[in-house]
Amino acid sequence: MAEAHSAVAFSFSVTPEGLDVKLNHEALKAVWRSGFRSAKKRVGRMQNQFKNGTYPATPTSWLFIATIVLALKIGGFDPSFGLIESQDKYVAAVFTNQSPAIIHYISCVLYATYLWFAKIIIIKWSLRVLLRYHKWMYEARGPMSLKTKIWIMTVKILGGRKPLLMSYQFSLPKLFVPSVKETVNKYLRSVKPLMEDEKYQRMEKLSKEFQEGAGKKFNRYLVLKSWWATNYVSDWWEDYVYLSGRSPIMVNSNFYAIDAVLLHPSKVQVARASNIIHAMLQYRRDLDKESLMPLMLNKTVPLCSAQYERQFQTTRIPGIEKDTIVHYKDSQHIAVYHKGRYFKVYIHFRGRLLKPCEIEHSLQKILDDDVEPAVGEKHLAALTAGDRVPWAKARQEYFSKGKNKASLDAIEKAAFVVALDDEPQDFDEHDPSKLDKFARSMLHGKGYDRWFDKSFTLVVASNGRIGFNAEHSWADAPIMAHLWEFSLSEEFQMGADAPIMGHMWEVCTADDRDYGYTDDGHTIGTPEICPNPIKLEWEFPKPCLQVIENCLEVATQLLNDVDLHLLYHNQYGKGFMKSVKMSPDAYIQLSLQLAYYRTAKKFDLTYESSMTRLFREGRTETVRSCTVESCQFAKAMDDPTVTNKERIKFMKLAAEEHQQGYRNAMSGHGIDRHLFCLYVVSKYLGEDSPFLTEVLSSPWRLSTSQTPHQQTNKLDLVKHPEHISAGGGFGPVADDGYGVSYIIAGEDVIFFHVSCKNSCPTTGARKFAEQIQKALADVKNMFEAKDS
């Protein structure tokens, strides 16, 4: 294409008169601006590293200490007790031409700097010690204990003001290693309601042998690793759970999210895409500057922010034995897929980020371009959807040089991928199948129209509906939920009198954010520049085409086996749950247990994802939601001899047990990550453990997760409950089980994403969703008729 030729900075030719050099000044300017931008970002990163390293101290506090030291010295008092005088001779050796007075002042300033750094170290270590205190989570609702009040006040005093995103990283405690006895005892209690007496007694015997034998040795290795590593779990979790799997990551690992379905701001595909792309790039800029506030529990306790570092410019590279994650420091383009073709679209021009209206014009050029895809290009992304080994071999063989390498680099080094679909998606309260279709499109699409290896792919339907598909190894769902909430909230700048549907849109022009839509649905503003998209070029030999088609066949079989249903539950929400003094999460989890018991006629291991980001580089831990108490409650609900008053008592006990399990998981006293790491140690040592083998081979037939929201200060669900996304979901974990993700959307709505496999004769997504709805209705009726 012409724009590719004009990108050459210079050319030359040899003539009889000599060497004729022709310079392209615009290209040279672009090279200069790119280098300047990279240098500017490097300086910014260095500044942030210094600020984070010295936080919560500030240059002002250093100046204050230096002033006090100098004032005391001038007043005749030596705050250093002789240290300043003792270092005068060393300072004089460096500043040989200075007077004794100047040398003495320099020594005073150096001493003040020592004090400043000592203050920083003391505060950081004090915060690290204080943040190991987790008993505040275990206190019953009501008046706080005096100890917790003092703790909160101390953390707030030492925690400083206006932190950057990474300011607390050095103050977060390390994840500790629990005792084997503690973990094994909790495990045994969690499986007791799931096993017959004979099998349980066998597990007791195996656990006792493990505790008295290899368990102690394995744990010593973990303790040693916890002293050396930042987090004794996270690197192994990433390597062995995510990157070492050789099966497809589509459906099995990647997750998705969908639009705020109660709103439809524009039906113009490229306009909606442009505003969301711009919002995401604004978020990226805030991320680079670390101007995003770190998340704080109860506005006091910081969460680890390490996972944000790889959100953009990140891709998963396939390997023969294990994949790797590659993160690039910067990218000035996005990759766009439309009707089987890939394009490189620049998002920066002449040192600034393109405005939404300028991005729209670039994307419109792609829609208007009728060039046919290269042979094999349409289904190319099926390589990322199939088994990992064929993709790894094909990448080495066919993408290591020439056009294919350059084009693959353009995708992998892009900030993110955008898929402009040629089909519409929508929400209709009276036609649930539309929402199911929407969710399936985000989870797997057609198996070849999402780049599943990329950190995330933004998907924009032909009618402007949006969603994303995210790779899981680099981070967990709350990180993407944060970006999604930010992007939607930036776009939804509504007038106060706007109705839920068909509203007018307010223009947001803070900084360079020009969001909004014209009456015909296009972005606002007048484009000043409009870089041409560059179509990526490919050249696939027949063996490569065959690998692509083989991967597509695997992906098609996998996605056809997915049964996915999205339940819009608007009968009631967390408002009622709180009115009966129940934790909404515990309420929903117990309702899921009831629904599963009624569907499967038994209880099974249940996985609920919890976070361990109270610790440095923490990721997730498992809450085992199926407990002795939850089983008693579920059985009581279908026992006509049990009164509602007794059922409520069972539910309250089960809810408290669930909350206790959640607190344990968050505070480092969980079960499964510790057992997983003990298992990894056993494999490294070549010592098989029958106990650990049996524990880790047990399937999670009910895997659940709550999608977090209100991670920014932009989402006001009281004024605008319709602004919340309908959440997202994931594929089933077990062949004969269910995956259930839910988001509590304001006070009165809950979205459930239910998945299972069509090939399993005993499961059905819609069937299970109906049981969830019935369980929620029965629990509500129980509370309303509690006297019976």
DSSP-assigned states of every residue in 587-626: HHHHHHHHHHHHHHSS---EEEEEE-TTSTT--EEEEE--
Tell me if 701 sits within 8 A of 604, measured CB to CB.
yes
Euclidean distance between CA atoms 187 and 671, whole angstroms: 6
Euclidean distance between CA atoms 426 and 264, whole angstroms: 9
| Eight-state DSSP code of residue 425 | -
| Eight-state DSSP code of residue 516 | -
At residue 602, the 3 state secondary structure works out as: coil
At residue 716, the 3 state secondary structure works out as: coil
Token representation of residue 484 = 């999604």
Token representation of residue 17 = 């008169």
How far is CA 787 from each of CA 606, 630, 645, rounded to the nearest angstrom? 31, 22, 6
**How many Å separate Cα 418 from the centre of its chain?**
18
Backbone angles phi, psi at 185, to 5 degrees: -65, -40
How far is CA 471 from each of CA 455, 479, 730, 773, rounded to the nearest angstrom? 5, 12, 11, 30
Tell me if 779 sits within 8 A of 571, measured CB to CB.
no
E strands along 55-209, which residues? Answer: none
At residue 393, the 3 state secondary structure works out as: helix
At residue 785, the 3 state secondary structure works out as: coil
Token representation of residue 651 = 């539910």
Euclidean distance between CA atoms 162 and 627, whole angstroms: 42
Burial 66-90, CB ≥16 within 10 A → b, else e:
beebbeebeeeeebbeeebeebeee
Euclidean distance between CA atoms 328 and 312, whole angstroms: 8
**How many Å separate Cα 783 from the centre of its chain?**
36
Of all helices (H) and strands (E), which one includes residue 601?
none
Euclidean distance between CA atoms 351 and 356, whole angstroms: 16
Euclidean distance between CA atoms 27 and 91, whole angstroms: 51
342 - beta bridge partners?
A: 337
Token representation of residue 577 = 């749950």
Token representation of residue 406 = 């350059």
| Eight-state DSSP code of residue 722 | G
Q: What is the side-by-side order of every strand in the sheet holding 606-611?
A: 562-569, 749-757, 738-745, 702-706, 606-611, 620-624
The total of other beta-carbon atoms located within 10 Å of residue 329's CB is: 11
How far is CA 293 from each of CA 127, 627, 654, 724, rounded to the nearest angstrom? 18, 37, 36, 20
At residue 138, the 3 state secondary structure works out as: coil
As a three-state string, the secondary structure of 531-561 is CCCEECCCCCCHHHHHHHHHHHHHHHHHHHC
| Residue where the block lists tokens 């590719």 | 4
Say whether 709 is catalytic.
Answer: no
Token representation of residue 414 = 């892009």
Residue type, 580: V
Peptide bond into 56 cis (omega under 30): yes
346 - beta bridge partners?
A: 333
List the catalytic residue out of 472, 522, 669, 674.
Answer: 472
Strands 534-535 and 606-611, how do they pair?
unpaired
Token representation of residue 100 = 């004794």
Active site residues per annotation: 472
